[in-house]
């Protein structure tokens, strides 16, 4: 489970430090999501759970006349996103520290809501989606991505053999976390206030390590992001060294052509607000 409290603390800080490697892991997927977003009209775009801002910045590049707002519950990630935006000089993208469950934009209702894997972490998804629909312009469109099931995402279970079972297999697979919307039927029940749903599967390659030492690079990534990171945060000394060595052993078996690259798969979900 990864809920709001984790994102406001250790997990959000790790993602703020690691945005280059998380963006890399999504690099083969993001163009598919941007293409799906490009198919929808919208001049007031809201990126939900924007993280370090990669999607917001991509949408802003594609829509110079739109106002793009990224919101996130992690202040560390909003700081990282704001710094990136300042470096690009783009004036029509802004980032706000906010919980999607309570967000209101005093300047006007969004007419296009987007997210790259930022909507699976709500404690009460139907309440949040109903709120987002109510805050949106009439007939607003939404385009977001989320992971498909673990069977399509072997990167997620990479270290099962070297992690305690309770970490490898979360108690509630539908609870807040990366796989909360893996099942479209369940996701549909969560999307209160939204109609005309479509789910399109997209397979992609998840690059976890590259460069001079891809295994060390991937270790650096997985030591901060994902289930092994949660475990590593609780161990020290020899236990930590042993776990890192075991992870390196697993990663060696996935080194091909100078990369640790693993199959991955996501849904691109489209919807329209039924808020009249
Ligand atoms: C898997 S990360 C994705 C980040 C970013 N969209 C990206 O693609 O790099 C999920 C993001 O959702 C944010 N998040 C989780 N719960 C949230 C909430 N209730 N309101 C706003 N953001 C939230 C987290 O802080 C985190 O940045």
In-domain check, residue 99: yes
In-domain check, residue 191: yes
Q: What is the pLDDT of residue 276?
A: 64
The CATH code of the domain that includes 65 is: 3.40.50.150
Q: What is the pLDDT of residue 32?
A: 98
Centre of ligand 1 to C-alpha 195, Å, is 23
Find the mean pLDDT for residues 79-97: 95
Question: Three-class SS of residue 261?
Answer: strand
CA 114 vs CA 48, 146, 227, 233: distances in Å: 6, 11, 26, 32
pTM, two decimals, is 0.95
In-domain check, residue 216: no
In-domain check, residue 224: no
* Nearest-angstrom CA–CA distance, 85 and 105: 20
pLDDT at 252 over 70: yes
Categorize the per-residue pLDDT at 137 as very low, low, confident or very high, splitting at 50, 70 and 90: very high
* Nearest-angstrom CA–CA distance, 29 and 23: 10
Categorize the per-residue pLDDT at 170 as very low, low, confident or very high, splitting at 50, 70 and 90: low
pLDDT at 106 over 70: yes
Mean of all residue pLDDT scores within the chain: 93
In-domain check, residue 108: yes
Centre of ligand 1 to C-alpha 124, Å, is 15
Q: How would you label 88-106 residue by residue, b for 16+ Cβ within 10 Å and e otherwise?
A: eebeebbbebbebbebebe
In-domain check, residue 82: yes
The residues, ordered by sequence, that sit 6+ positions from 252 with a Cβ below 8 Å of its Cβ are: 215
Confirm if 122 and 100 have CB atoms less than 8 A apart: yes
User: What is the domain count for the chain?
Assistant: 1
Pocket of ligand 1 contains residue 190 by CB under 6 Å: no
In-domain check, residue 212: no
Pocket of ligand 1 contains residue 147 by CB under 6 Å: no
Q: What is the pLDDT of residue 226?
A: 82
Categorize the per-residue pLDDT at 236 as very low, low, confident or very high, splitting at 50, 70 and 90: confident
Q: What range does the domain containing 30 cover?
A: 4-207+264-273
In-domain check, residue 147: yes
Centre of ligand 1 to C-alpha 116, Å, is 8
């Amino acid at each position: 489970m990864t809920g709001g409290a984790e994102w406001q603390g250790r997990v959000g800080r790790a993602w703020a430090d690691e945005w280059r490697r998380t963006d890399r892991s999504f690099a083969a997927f993001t163009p598919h999501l941007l293409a799906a977003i490009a198919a929808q009209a919208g001049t007031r775009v809201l990126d939900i759970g924007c993280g370090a801002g990669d999607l917001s910045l991509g949408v802003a590049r594609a829509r110079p006349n739109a106002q793009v707002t990224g919101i996130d519950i992690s202040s560390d990630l909003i700081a990282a996103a704001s710094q990136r935006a300042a470096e690009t000089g783009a004036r029509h993208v802004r980032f706000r520290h906010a919980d999607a469950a309570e967000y209101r934009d005093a300047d006007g209702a969004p007419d296009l809501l987007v997210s790259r894997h930022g909507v699976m972490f709500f404690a009460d998804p139907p309440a949040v989606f109903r709120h987002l629909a109510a805050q949106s312009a009439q007939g607003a469109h939404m385009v977001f991505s989320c992971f498909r099931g673990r069977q399509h995402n072997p990167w997620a279970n990479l270290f099962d053999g070297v992690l305690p079972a309770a970490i490898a297999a979360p108690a509630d697979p539908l609870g807040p976390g990366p796989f909360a919307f893996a099942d479209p039927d369940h996701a549909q029940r969560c999307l209160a206030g939204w109609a005309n749903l479509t789910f399109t599967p997209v397979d992609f390659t998840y690059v976890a390590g590259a460069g001079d030492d891809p295994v060390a690079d991937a270790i650096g990534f997985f030591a901060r992001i994902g289930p092994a990171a949660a475990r590593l945060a609780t161990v020290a000394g020899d236990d930590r060294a042993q776990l890192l060595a075991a992870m390196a052993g697993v990663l060696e078996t996935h080194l091909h052509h100078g990369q640790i690259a693993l199959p991955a798969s996501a849904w691109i979900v489209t919807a329209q607000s039924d808020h009249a």
